[in-house]
Amino acid sequence: MQEPRVPSGTETEDVSRIGREWAEGEERAKEVGRRAREEAAETLRAARVKVSRAYDRTADSAVRTYRGARDYAQAHPSAAAAMSFAAGVGIGMMVSSKNGAKAYQRGLIPVAAIALAHAVLEVFEEAR
């Protein structure tokens, strides 16, 4: 049986140095990770603020446009009916193509058609 080898002074110093370097590297890695998390959180916060502002501007613009169209339709109901009819014909022509029916079922057109129908209905109900 072999006797256990006792490390020399140089080997012990090397092990201690490697341990210190490892600990320093670990601390640097933790610091880099902390800074990366902070920067990511700040970027996310800034993006949320920008999206919120853009949404608010878009919503305000949509409300103004909707109210303007509603007011016009109340003042000119025959023109509103003609425009609604023309929009319906246009949408019908777009979806009447071979691939149009599939696009109609999956796309934005049903949402727009329903919104338009509700807007026209609201105008005519308020005009009574």
pLDDT at residue 88 is higher than 90: no
pLDDT at residue 22 is higher than 80: yes
Q: Residues 124, 71: contact at Cβ < 8 Å?
A: no
- Best CA proximity match to 90, nearest among 122, 112, 73: 112
Q: What is the mean pLDDT of the chain?
A: 79
5: confidence class by pLDDT, cuts 50, 70, 90: low
Percent pLDDT > 90 in the chain is 20
pTM of this prediction exceeds 0.75: no
pLDDT at residue 42 is higher than 60: yes
Tokens of 76: 């000119």
Concatenate the DSSP letters of all residues of 48-78 into one string.
HHHHHHHHHHHHHHHHHHHHHHHHHHHH-HH
